[in-house]
Amino acid sequence: MKTILITGATSGIGLEAARQLGEAGDHLILVGRNPEKLDHAARLVRAAGAGRADTLVCDFASQAAVRELAAAVLATYERLDVLANNAGGYYPDRVMTDDEVESTFAVNHLGGYLLTELLLDLLRRSAPARILFTSSVMHYGASLDFDDLSLARSYSGEKAYSQSKLANILYVRALARRLEGTGVTVNAFHPGAVATGIWDAMPWWGRPFAAVAKRVFMIPAAEGGRRLTYLASAPEPARHSGRYFQNNELKTPSRRAQDDALARQLDEVSARLVGLSS
161 carries an active-site annotation: yes
Question: Helix %, strand %, coil % for the chain, to 5?
Answer: 50, 15, 35
The CA-based angle 4-185-135, given to 5 degrees, is 75
Q: Among the options 90, 91, 113, 161, which is catalytic?
A: 161
186: helix, coil or strand?
Answer: strand
Nearest to 83 by CA among 23, 127, 52, 25: 127
Closest by Cα among 7, 33, 261, 191 to 116: 7
Contact partners, residue 220, CB within 8 Å, separation at least 6: 194, 195
CB 90 within 8 A of CB 71: no
Give residue 19's identity as a one-letter amino acid code.
Answer: R
Residue type, 249: E
β 249-250/243-246 pair status: antiparallel
Q: Which residue stretches of 179-259 are H helix?
A: 207-216, 221-233
Q: How many residues does the structure list for the chain?
A: 278
Q: Is 253 exposed, middle or buried (0-12, 13-18, 19+ CB in 10 A)?
A: buried
> Max Cα separation, the chain?
50
What are the catalytic residues? 161
